[in-house]
Amino acid sequence: MGQPKLLLPWGKTTVIGHLIAQWQKAGASQIAIVTAVGDQALAKELDRLALPPEDRLCNPAPELGMFSSIQCAALGHCFGRSTPPARGNTSCPAQIGRGSP
């Protein structure tokens, strides 16, 4: 397909836009999206969708697979925070690496 599946068109939005809308429609009290460091295309789409930065979690090691993203989200929300209590800076701007030990 040539582009990430979450960014493919879906009706009047994208797949990720549709998923967020469905969770909002279902009445979810909090919606958080886990992204990889430096994923500028997804960050741009989340900006367009007006997803607040505090609802974006950064997985500093996405190469470990999808379960690492689930762990990242679970840890963040277990502590009542929008960002996981991981080591170092876990925000997702392109210039930030994996965080420090």
| Mean pLDDT calculated for residue range 33-56 | 92
Residue 18: inside a domain: yes
Look at the chain and report how many structural domains it folds into. 1
Euclidean distance between CA atoms 34 and 36, whole angstroms: 7
Give residue-wise pLDDT tens across range 68-100: 888 888 876 544 454 444 434 445 543 333 333
Whether 91 is in a domain gets the answer: no
Q: Which residue has the higher pLDDT, 12 or 30?
A: 12
The answer as to whether 98 is a domain residue is no
Q: What is the mean pLDDT of residues 48-55?
A: 92
Question: Higher-confidence residue: 6 or 85?
Answer: 6
CB contact at 8 A, 46 and 57: no
Q: Report residue 49: phi and psi, to 5°.
A: -80, -5
In a domain, 100, yes or no: no
Q: Are strands 56-59 and 33-36 parallel, antiparallel or unpaired?
A: parallel
- 90, 71 Cβ separation under 8 angstroms: no
Domain with 9, as residue range(s), is 5-78
- Which residue, among 69, 88, 29, 101, has the nearest Cα to 56 in the 3D structure? 69
Across 11-27, average pLDDT: 97
The pTM assigned to this predicted structure is 0.73
